Amino acid sequence: MSRIAAFGEVMMRLETPGFSTLSQSGNLAYSFSGTGVNVASALARFGHETYLASTLPDNSLGEAALAYLRKLGIQTTFVNRGGRYIGMYFLERGFGIRPGKVTYTDRLGSSFNTVPRAPEDWVRIADSVDAVHLCGITLAMNELARTQIKQLARAVKSRRGTVIFDCNYRPSLWGDGGYALAAPHYREMLELADIVFMNEKDALLTLGMPSGGTDRLAQLRELIPQVAKQYGIGTIAGTHRQVNGDNTHTLTGYSYTEGAFWFAQPSTFSVYDRVGAGDAYASGIIHAALRGDAPQYAVDYATAAAVLAHTVHGDTPMAAEAEVVKAMSRTAGDVER
Amino acid sequence: MSRIAAFGEVMMRLETPGFSTLSQSGNLAYSFSGTGVNVASALARFGHETYLASTLPDNSLGEAALAYLRKLGIQTTFVNRGGRYIGMYFLERGFGIRPGKVTYTDRLGSSFNTVPRAPEDWVRIADSVDAVHLCGITLAMNELARTQIKQLARAVKSRRGTVIFDCNYRPSLWGDGGYALAAPHYREMLELADIVFMNEKDALLTLGMPSGGTDRLAQLRELIPQVAKQYGIGTIAGTHRQVNGDNTHTLTGYSYTEGAFWFAQPSTFSVYDRVGAGDAYASGIIHAALRGDAPQYAVDYATAAAVLAHTVHGDTPMAAEAEVVKAMSRTAGDVER
Amino acid sequence: MSRIAAFGEVMMRLETPGFSTLSQSGNLAYSFSGTGVNVASALARFGHETYLASTLPDNSLGEAALAYLRKLGIQTTFVNRGGRYIGMYFLERGFGIRPGKVTYTDRLGSSFNTVPRAPEDWVRIADSVDAVHLCGITLAMNELARTQIKQLARAVKSRRGTVIFDCNYRPSLWGDGGYALAAPHYREMLELADIVFMNEKDALLTLGMPSGGTDRLAQLRELIPQVAKQYGIGTIAGTHRQVNGDNTHTLTGYSYTEGAFWFAQPSTFSVYDRVGAGDAYASGIIHAALRGDAPQYAVDYATAAAVLAHTVHGDTPMAAEAEVVKAMSRTAGDVER
Amino acid sequence: MSRIAAFGEVMMRLETPGFSTLSQSGNLAYSFSGTGVNVASALARFGHETYLASTLPDNSLGEAALAYLRKLGIQTTFVNRGGRYIGMYFLERGFGIRPGKVTYTDRLGSSFNTVPRAPEDWVRIADSVDAVHLCGITLAMNELARTQIKQLARAVKSRRGTVIFDCNYRPSLWGDGGYALAAPHYREMLELADIVFMNEKDALLTLGMPSGGTDRLAQLRELIPQVAKQYGIGTIAGTHRQVNGDNTHTLTGYSYTEGAFWFAQPSTFSVYDRVGAGDAYASGIIHAALRGDAPQYAVDYATAAAVLAHTVHGDTPMAAEAEVVKAMSRTAGDVER
Amino acid sequence: MSRIAAFGEVMMRLETPGFSTLSQSGNLAYSFSGTGVNVASALARFGHETYLASTLPDNSLGEAALAYLRKLGIQTTFVNRGGRYIGMYFLERGFGIRPGKVTYTDRLGSSFNTVPRAPEDWVRIADSVDAVHLCGITLAMNELARTQIKQLARAVKSRRGTVIFDCNYRPSLWGDGGYALAAPHYREMLELADIVFMNEKDALLTLGMPSGGTDRLAQLRELIPQVAKQYGIGTIAGTHRQVNGDNTHTLTGYSYTEGAFWFAQPSTFSVYDRVGAGDAYASGIIHAALRGDAPQYAVDYATAAAVLAHTVHGDTPMAAEAEVVKAMSRTAGDVER
Amino acid sequence: MSRIAAFGEVMMRLETPGFSTLSQSGNLAYSFSGTGVNVASALARFGHETYLASTLPDNSLGEAALAYLRKLGIQTTFVNRGGRYIGMYFLERGFGIRPGKVTYTDRLGSSFNTVPRAPEDWVRIADSVDAVHLCGITLAMNELARTQIKQLARAVKSRRGTVIFDCNYRPSLWGDGGYALAAPHYREMLELADIVFMNEKDALLTLGMPSGGTDRLAQLRELIPQVAKQYGIGTIAGTHRQVNGDNTHTLTGYSYTEGAFWFAQPSTFSVYDRVGAGDAYASGIIHAALRGDAPQYAVDYATAAAVLAHTVHGDTPMAAEAEVVKAMSRTAGDVER
C-alpha cells in the first residue's frame, strides 16, 4: 500500500436523466469528479491511501463535494476551504448519431483556480506521500494553477517522491494556438515526471516532434522512446481508442518502460458511461508501478480497469482490485449469486 | 423564415417508465403531441414562425397542453378553448419480441372533434400564414373534422398559400372497408394540395391505382408521377422504412419534384423512440421547399431530421436546424465538450 | 365473516406529485378506486370476503385495474370485461386557500356505463353473497346504470340478502334540476334498502321533506326517523363534517337504529388525503351490523375507521380491523418499534 | 389587456428534494425565475401580453431557460442570446428552526450582466409596450446593468409609457456601505418612475429620510407620502410581512395612490413556497392600475395574488385572474370536483 | 383450466435503480418472487386457478408480500402467517463485463424455513388441487423444509394429483460436497414426480449417472431417457442456454415425453431481465401438459413463454396465454396501435 | 478537538416514500445508522476526530455501509469485516393518529453480534482515542456483545480515557422480565462510566431504586444524585420529552454535574424526523464536556443540537457546530440568502 496525493480541481457534474435534454427535463442528478478525484478514488479501491489536494468553497456546495469525496474513500486532509465557487458541468447524454453535450459554468472563477495555497502546504503534502498525480488540465487553467502544480511537483521530486503526470491536453481549454502556449509548460512538467500518460498525438502536436510514421502505431513506436529518453521518464503509458459503429469501443493499452513496449490485447466492449475511463487506465498503471508488477501485468490490469470504468455510471472508477483481477480473465458477464 | 399553421388534434401521451407495463407500474410521464404539434414544433426549431390550429378544453388538462405547446415554441393564437375532453393514449414500451402497446381513450369525444369553429376562423388563419399543414388522421375522425380540414385548405388555397397534406392513412381509425370510405376525401385533399407526403401504398390502396411493379420501389417509381400529374401536385415525398433484426431501422427518403425522383442514401441507425419520425421527415421537406433548397439537399436534410427524431424521447422532434445540418455529415456520435 | 358484493364503477385516479399542477408537472401517479372499490377493500381488511361487481375494458388499462383490485384483496369473479374505456379523474392537490382540482374524462362512455350485463349475472351474484353495497353515484349515470342497480338490489332482496345503499348525491353529476330527476330513483332504492347512508341534506333536498329544524342536528333528529319509518329501513347512518381553519377536520358520526340515535364523540384530526373517508365510515357501520355489534360500538368503530382513512394516501381505506380497534382508544401517534 | 415588458436577469433555480441538504441528496429539480420573469408570468396569467427583456447564453442552458419562459406564457422576442453563463442559485429548504439556505454561483459573470445591448434595442422595446417593469436587484449588479436599466426607463418614459420600479433592496448584493452606494441610483430611478414598490425601510435606509415614527406603520404613513410628492410618483405600494411561530405568515398590503392610503385586511396563511410572493403582489397592483381599478380593489386583489403565490411550488406565481378573484372571497380550501 | 398449487418460499427482491451499485445509490425497488411465485403467477396468466403454499411473517413485510401475490393473480388461501422474517436478496444489475451481484439476507431464519405446518394442511391442499409444483431450492434449505416438501408430494400423489418437480440445483445453497448430500433427497422426489424439469447436468452431477456423451446434447439424449425409465416419470423437460457475446442469449427447449425427444427451434433474443425465465419455461410445459397439448406445441409454447420472460422487468413472468401464442409466430416487435 | 470512538452496530434503514405503507409502495430509500453512528457523525460535525468500532459483512451491503459512514465523516479504521449479515429495519412513517411502524430483520445474526474481535483490537482502539461511547442497546444483544462492550470499556478506563455510556434501555429488546436481566450489566457499565445518559426511569426500572417523588421531575431530582454518588459518575445527563397534540414536541434537557443540576429552557418545535434526536443531545453534552464548557452552556448547546436533529431527514444528526450555536439564539427560521 502506498500513499498518493492527486492534485486537481473538483467539478460538480449535473446530468439530466436518461437521454433527455435540458429543455425537456426538470431534474438533474449531481456528483463530483475531476481527474484527480477519479485517480484518487480508483487507487483507494486498489488498496492505497489516497489524498486529494484541492480547494473548495466554504458553503453548502463545498460541503457536499467533501462528503462525496469521503464517500469515495479519499482522504480530504489536503482539501483547503476558500473562494466562492465550484466549477460545474451539465451533461446531456446523446443517443446514436445525436451527440451528448457538455455545458460548463465559469471554471476560471472556481475556488481551485483563484485561491492560492501557502507554500508550506506543498511541503506538508510532499512529506506525507510516496507519489503525486498531476494533470495537464490544471496546466490549462491560469497562471496561479500552473505555478502551483509546478511547486508541488518540485516539492515531491526534491523529497524523492514519484511524480506522475497525465498530459491530458484539452484543445477547447487552450483555444487557438494553444499548442504553442502549452508546450513550455508541458516540457517543464515532463522534466519533473517519473511516470507520464500520453500518446503519439501529444508528442506530435504539443511537443512539436516530427515523425515519419504513416499510422498511429508507427508514430507511437517512433516518438515515445524519444520522449522517454529526452526527459528521462521511466514509464510512459496510454491507450488507443476506436469508436465502433455498433455502440462498442475498442481499447488498446500500451506501456513503454524499461526501454521496451508492452501492449495489452485490444479489448472491445459495450459502453455505458465513458467519462473517466482514461483515469482508470492511468490508475491501473500507477498501481502496478507502485507495487513493482511486471510491465505486461500492468497493461493488462490497467486495460481491465479501463474497460470496467466504461460499465459504471459516473466519471469515477468504482472497481476494487479484486474485481479488476477477475475481469482480466472474464469475457461474458452473468449474475453472480 | 415562413409562417406556417398546422391543423390537428393535440393528444395527451401517458407513458409508463422504462419497459414496465400498466399492471406493473404506478407512475406515468405525460406530454402532448399529435402530427400537427410535431410538424409545428420541428419547423419552429428550423427557424419558422409556426402556429397550431386546434381546440382544447377549458380545464386544467387544456392549460397543461397549452403550456406544453408554448414550451415547444409553437404560437397558440389559433388554439380555441371549448368542449370537455382531450384525446389520450397510454404507451407501454416493448422490448425485443414483446411489442409495445398503445391504448386510446375516446378520441371522437375530444374538444377537437366535437367543437365547430366559426367560419371566419379559417379566414383569419389563412390570412396570417404562408402555408398550412394538414393530415389524413383528421380525415379519419368524423364529419365535423372532415368539413373543417377542407374549409381551411380552401381558405389557404384561395389566398395562394401553400397547402401541405400528409396522407397518413391509419387502418385502425378507418376500420374495415376503410379505403373505400377514405378515397373520396383523400382525392379532394390531393386536388387542393401543393406538397403531399405519401408512398406507393397510398396510391395502391387508398386511391386504388393499379401497378405492374413487382417491388415497393418499382411501384413507387410508377405510381407517384401519375399522382403528381393527375392532381397537379408540385412535390410528393415520403420514406421507406425497414425494421432490422438488431434493434436498428433503415430509412430511405425520397422526393418527386420538378418531374424527377430524388433519393437520400439509406440510413441505418439505433432507435430510441420512433414515434414522430415521419413528421420530422415531412418537416425537413417543408423547410427545404419553403426556402427553395435544391431537391437533393431537401431529401438529405429531411432524412437527417428523421434519423435524429428517432434518438429523442417523446413524439416531438427536438433538433434545431444547425443540429440537423451537422447530422447530415456525421456518422458516429461522441460527447461534445 | 360475511360475503359482500359492492356494485359500482372503477375509476382511474391520476395525480400530480406533491402540490404541483398539471401545467407544472410531467408525472402522474395512478391508482384505481370508486365507492364500491373502497367499501369492498375496507371490508376485506375487516375480515370479510368481498367482491366487486363491475365492468372493465379488455385492454391494458382494464388489466391494470384488475391487478390493483386483487392487490386490495377484492375478489374479481364478478368483474366483467367489455366496452372500451375506463372512467378517469385527474387530481391536483391544493394547499391552504388554493383549492385542489379534479378533472374528469368522459365517464358516461366507460365500460361500466355502456355494457349491459346478462340478467343471470344478477342472480349469480345474489346467490353468492350475504349483502350488496350500492351507491347513489351509479344512479346518476344513465338509464342502463339505473336499470342494473335496481335489478341487482331486487335480486338480493328476493333472496333475503341485505341491501345497503349509500345516497351519495353528487350535484355536479345530476346537473341543474337534479334533485327532481333523482328523487324517484332514490325513493325506489330506499324501498329496497336495509341499511342506508345519508344525512339531513338528502332528506331535505333529494327527498324534498320539510323540516322545522334550525340547525343541522335538529333537522337530522327530525327527519331521519321519518325516513326510517316511511321506507322501513333498519339502520340509517352518516357523518357531519366540519372543515376547520387549521388544516384539521372535525367528524361526528351517527347511526339511527333500533328506533334510537347513537352518536360518536366528535373527532378532530389532521388531514392527509380526505377522499374515501366517507366510504370508510360506511364500511365500519356495515362491518358492525353484519357482526351484530352494539350500535354505540358501531359508530365508534366507524368513526375510527373514517379518521384513519384521512391519514392514508389514496382513495381507498387501508386499515385492518385490529388497527381500527387500536385507533378507537388512541390519541397521539408515535413510531411503533 | 396591456403590453408590458419586464427587464431583468433570468436565474436558474436548483433545488434539493423535500427538506434534504446538498450533502444528503444527489438530485436537483431546476426551473428558471427572477423578478422580471415572475412579474411577466403573473401578468400573462392576468390576461396581458408580456415580454421579458433579458440576455441568455447561446447554449443548452439558455435553450432550456427560453423554453421555460415560453411555457410560462412570456413572449421571448426581446431576449437576446450571447455571453457564456446563466446565474444560478441552489436552494435547500429549511424546516422549523433549521433555516433554508441559498447558495449562488457567480452572478456578475452572467450573460445578462456582461453583454451590452444595442441602443436601438431600448427603442424597439419602448415602442412595443405600454409599460415596463424594472427592479432594484438589477441596480445592484454592475455599471453595465445600471446603465441599461436607466436607458430603458428613459426610452419608455420619453414615449409616455408607464415606468414601474420595484426597490427590492438586497443588502447582500450591495455589501457593507451599500445604502450610500445605492442611494443616487435609486433616486434616479424614482425620478423616472410612475409606479413604485417599496416600504418605510427603503425610505429610511436607502433614501436616508428621517422619521419620528415609533413603529413601522407610523413610519410608513409619514414617509411614503413624502416620497410620492418629492419624486412625483402616482402610486407607491408594498406589504408588511410578519413571520408567525406556527409556520404561518401574516401579510398586510398597502397602496398610496391619489394622495391617500389604502390597506387590505391582514391575511394569515400557511406557507408552502414563499419565494416570489412579493412579485405576485406587485403584479396585482400593476394589473389593477393598468385596468383602472379602484385602489381598494387593487390592494385586495394584489393581496390575494400574493397569498396564492405562497401556496405554489417555485418562485413564479401561477394563478390566473379568475383564481385570484375567487381567492379574494374564499377562506377555506376544499377539493373542487 | 386446472387448479395448481406451488409450494415454495416467497423472497423479497430489492434492486438498485438502473445499473448503479449499492454504494452509489440510495434507493431500492422491491417486489416479491420465488420459483413457486413465478410458476403460480405464470399459470394464472395462462388461465389456471393457482395457489401458493408458503408461510409469511405476521408483520408489514408479510402484508406487502401477500398484497403482491394477490396482484399477480395468485390465490393466497394456503399462505400461513407466522415466524418473524422474510428472506431477501439485493440485486445490483451488471453491465457488459461487469457482472450483476446478488446479496442474500439470512434465508434459513425465514418464516418459510422455520415454522412447521400442521399435517392436515397438506391434506387440505392436496384435496383442493389437480397438481402441485415443487422445487429443488426448497430441498436445499433445512430438514423442516425437506420434510414438508415430501409430505406435500405424498399427499398429492396419494390423491392421484400430478406431482411436478423442478430440480433447480443451486451449488451455493448446498455448499461443498453438496451433490452427495442432495442425491438421496432428489431421488426421493423423482420417485414421486410425474413431470420433472432438469437437464443432463442434474443427471451427471446430482444423480451421479455416468455418460459416454462428448457434448451436452449427446449426454442429454443418453441420460434423460434413463432417468425417465428408472423413476417412472412421464415428462422430463428443460432448456439449454447459451450466453452470446452481444448481450443476447440463445435458448433451446426440449421435452422427453411419450418415449421421445421433442425440441424447439433455438431462439436468440436480447435480454432485459433474465431471472425467472426458467420458471416461465416450466410453466409453459405444465400448461400444455395439463391441457393435453401435443409435445411439439408444448416445447414451442414453453420456449416462447421463456423468451417473453426475458423481456419483462422482475423475476415473475407476466405474459398472458394469448401473448405467448402471438409470440410463437412473431419475429420483430413493433408498437401495437 | 478530541478523538472519540463509538462502539455499536450499524443498521440499514429502509424507508417507504412519504407516508405510504409497505403494501402501497414499491420503493425504499436506504441509509445506515445506529446510536454509535449517530454520535460519531454528530461529533465529527462538531470538529472532533471520530471513529466507529463495529463489524460489517464483506459484501455489497457492507461496502455500501462503509461508504455511507465515510460520507458522514466517520473514520472507519476500526470497522472489521466479517460475518454475513447487516441488521436492517423497515420504516413506514405514520400520520396523525396512524402510528409509524418499524419492522426489523434478524438483528442477532448480524456481523456485529456474531463475529468476535481479537482482544488486541480493544487495546488498539483504547490507545488511539480520548473517549469511547457505549450504548445500552449493545448490552441487550447477546453474550458476545456484552462481553465485548465491557472489554472495550475496561481497556479505555485502564488507559485513563473517558468512558461514556448511554443507558438507552429498549423494552422490546430485553423482553418480559428484562429489567431484572439487564440490571447487573447496567450496574457493571455504570461502575466503569464517567459520563452517563439516563433519566429517572432508568433509575426506577432498571436499577430498581425506590423514589418518593410524585412526578418525573421530583423523581429525577431525587434519584440522579444518588446514582452519581453510588457509581462515582462525573456527569449524568438526559432529556424529558413531551409529545403535544399539534405535531410538536417539547424537550427539556438536563445535566447533573459538579454536584448540581443544570436545566435548559424547555423547547417546543415541529418534528420532521425524530429518530436520532437523543443521540444529538448526547453528542452535544459530550462535545461540551470534552471542551470543558460550562454546564449551562452544555445543556443549552445539547438542546439546540437535539432540536435541530428533529428537522433533518434520517437518523443521523447533520448540524455543524456553527449551526448549533446559531440555533441556540434563534427562534423562527427563514431562508438565508
Nearest chain B residue to E313, by CA: B20
How far apart, in whole angstroms, are the C-alpha atoms of residue C230 and residue A46?
86
* Chain D: touching chains (3 or more CB pairs < 8 Å): A, B, C, F
Chain C residue with Cα closest to F22: C318
pLDDT above 70 as % of chain D: 97
Closest partner residue to F270 (CB to CB) among D91, D172, D247 is D247
Question: Residue B336 pLDDT > 60, yes or no?
Answer: no
Top-confidence range, A44-58, E267-281, E308-322: A44-58
CB proximity E24 to A under 8 Å: yes
Asked whether the beta carbons of residue F94 and residue C333 sit closer than 8 angstroms, the reply is yes
pLDDT tier at C217, thresholds 50, 70, 90 = very high
* CA gap F240, F133 in Å, rounded: 21
**How high does pLDDT run on average in chain B?**
93
b (16+ CB within 10 A) / e for B177-214 = ebbeebeebbebbbebbbbbbbbbbbbbebbebeeeee
State how far residue B241 is from chain A, nearest Cα, in angstroms. 17
Chain B positions touching C60 (Cβ under 8 A) are 21-23, 90, 92, 101, 103
Q: What angle do CA C116, C118, C121 make, to 5 degrees?
A: 115
Tell me: pLDDT of D2 over 90: yes
- Please give, rounded to a whole number of angstroms, the shortest distance from the CA of B18 to a CA of chain E: 9
Query: pLDDT tier at E330 (50, 70, 90 boundaries)?
Result: low
Per-residue confidence at C245, pLDDT binned at 50, 70, 90? low
Q: A63: which chain D residues are within 8 Å (Cβ-Cβ)?
A: 21-23
In this complex, do B27 and C28 lie within 8 Å of one another by their Cβ atoms?
yes
B71 interfacial to chain D (CB closer than 8 Å): yes
User: What is the mean predicted confidence (pLDDT) over E220-232?
Assistant: 97
pLDDT tens digits for range F193-218: 999 999 999 999 999 999 998 999 99
User: For residue F330, what pLDDT is reported?
Assistant: 66
F336, D243: Cβ pair inside 8 Å?
Answer: no
What pLDDT does C330 receive? 66
Residue of chain D whose Cα is closest to the Cα of F267: D97
Cα atoms in the 13 Å half-sphere on the side-chain side of A225: 10
- Name the burial class of residue A120, with classes exposed (0-12), middle (13-18) and buried (19+) by CB atoms within 10 angstroms of its CB: exposed
Q: pLDDT tier at D55 (50, 70, 90 boundaries)?
A: very high
Residue A333, chain E, CB below 8 Å: the answer is yes
- DSSP state at residue E184: H
Confidence of residue F245 (pLDDT cuts 50, 70, 90): low
- Cα(A77)–Cα(A69) distance, rounded to whole angstroms? 11
Interface size C-D, in CB pairs within 8 Å, comes to 72
Residue of C nearest to D309 (CA): C98
- Lowest-confidence region among D194-208, D313-327, F151-165: D313-327
Interchain proximity C106–B109, CB inside 8 Å: yes
Q: Give the mean pLDDT of B327-331.
A: 77
- Average pLDDT along chain A: 93
Inform me whether the C-beta atom of residue D63 falls under 8 Å from chain A C-beta atoms. Answer: yes
Q: Residue type at E138?
A: T
Does D71 touch chain B if contact means CB atoms closer than 8 Å? yes
Torsion of Cα atoms, F309 then F315 then F320 then F324, to 10°: 10
Q: Residue E309: in which H helix or E strand, if any? A: helix E295-309
Residues D237-263 pLDDT 10s: 999 999 886 678 899 999 999 899 999
Q: Is A330 on the interface with F (CB under 8 A)?
A: no
Q: What is the per-residue pLDDT for C335?
A: 47
Confidence of residue F219 (pLDDT cuts 50, 70, 90): very high
The mean of the pLDDT values for chain E is 93
Which chains border E (3 or more CB–CB pairs < 8 Å)?
A, B, C, F
pLDDT exceeding 70 applies to what percent of chain F? Answer: 97
Whether residues B95 and E272 touch (CB distance < 8 A) is answered with yes
3-class secondary structure per residue, F105-149? CCCCCCHHHHCCCCHHHHHHHHHHCCEEEEEHHHHCCCHHHHHHH
Distance CA D299, CA D293 (A): 10
What is the predicted pLDDT for the residue at F248?
Answer: 82
User: With the CA atoms of D99, D105, D111 and D116 taken in that order, what torsion angle do they form, in degrees rounded to the nearest 10?
Assistant: 80
Average pLDDT over residues F161-183: 94
Orientation of helix F143-158 relative to helix F119-128, angle to 10°: 40
**8 Å CB contact between D272 and C96:** yes
Whether C170 and chain E come into contact, CB under 8 Å, resolves to no
Residue C71: closest C-alpha in chain E: E71
Interface test with F, best of A50, A71, A77 (most F CBs within 10 A): A71
Sketch out chain F's domains with CATH numbers: 234-337 (3.40.1190.20)
Residue F333 pLDDT greater than 70, yes or no = no
* pLDDT reported for residue A271: 85
Mutate which: F20, F24, F93, F106, vs E, most E CBs within 10 A = F106
C98 and chain D in contact, CB less than 8 A: yes
Q: Any idea which residue has 364500511 for its cell? A: C283
Please tell me the predicted confidence (pLDDT) of residue F274. Answer: 81
Mean pLDDT over C164-179 rounds to: 94
- Do A94 and B335 make contact, defined as CB atoms within 8 angstroms? yes
Q: Residue A330 has what pLDDT?
A: 66
Q: With an 8 Å Cβ cutoff, are C243 and D307 in contact?
A: no
Are B178 and B151 a contacting pair, CB within 8 Å?
A: no
What percent of chain F lies above the pLDDT cut of 90? 83
Instruction: Quick: pLDDT tens for D163-182.
Output: 999 999 999 899 899 999 99
CA E144 to chain F, closest CA, distance in angstroms equals 19
Residue C113: pLDDT band with limits 50, 70, 90 = very high
Which residues of D fall within a CB distance of 8 Å from C22? none
E100/A334 CB distance under 8 A: yes
Q: Which of B58, B60, B92, B316 to mutate to test the interface with C (most CBs of C within 10 A)?
A: B60
- Check F64 against E14: CB less than 8 A apart: no
Is D73–B70 a contact, with Cβ atoms under 8 angstroms apart? yes
- E318 pLDDT above the threshold of 60: yes
pLDDT at F107: 86
Evaluate if residue E193 carries a pLDDT over 90: yes
- Chunked into runs of 10 residues, chain A (337 residues) has average pLDDT values of 96 95 95 97 97 97 97 97 96 89 92 95 96 97 96 96 96 92 97 97 96 94 97 97 82 95 92 88 97 96 95 88 90 45
Find the mean pLDDT for residues B128-141: 97
What is the overall mean pLDDT for chain D? 93
**A10, A11, A23: best to mutate for the D interface, most D CBs within 10 A:** A23
Say yes or no to pLDDT of B331 above 80: no
CB–CB contact A67 F71 (8 Å) = yes
* E202 DSSP assignment: I
pLDDT score at D122: 96
Contact B73 D70 (CB under 8 A): yes
- Report CA dihedral (E196, E202, E204, E205) to the nearest 10 degrees: -140
Q: How far is residue A132 from each of residues A81, A126, A185, measured CA to CA in Å?
A: 21, 8, 18
- To the nearest whole Å, the CA of A60 is away from the closest chain D CA by 6
Subunits with 3+ Cβ pairs within 8 Å of B are A, C, D, E
Q: Which of E16-30, E54-68, F236-250 has the lowest mean pLDDT?
A: F236-250
What's the CA gap between D136 and D165, in Å, rounded? 7
Contact across the interface for C243 and D334, Cβ inside 8 Å: yes
- State the maximum Cα–Cα separation within chain B, in Å, rounded to a whole number: 55
C77 and E CB contact within 8 Å: no
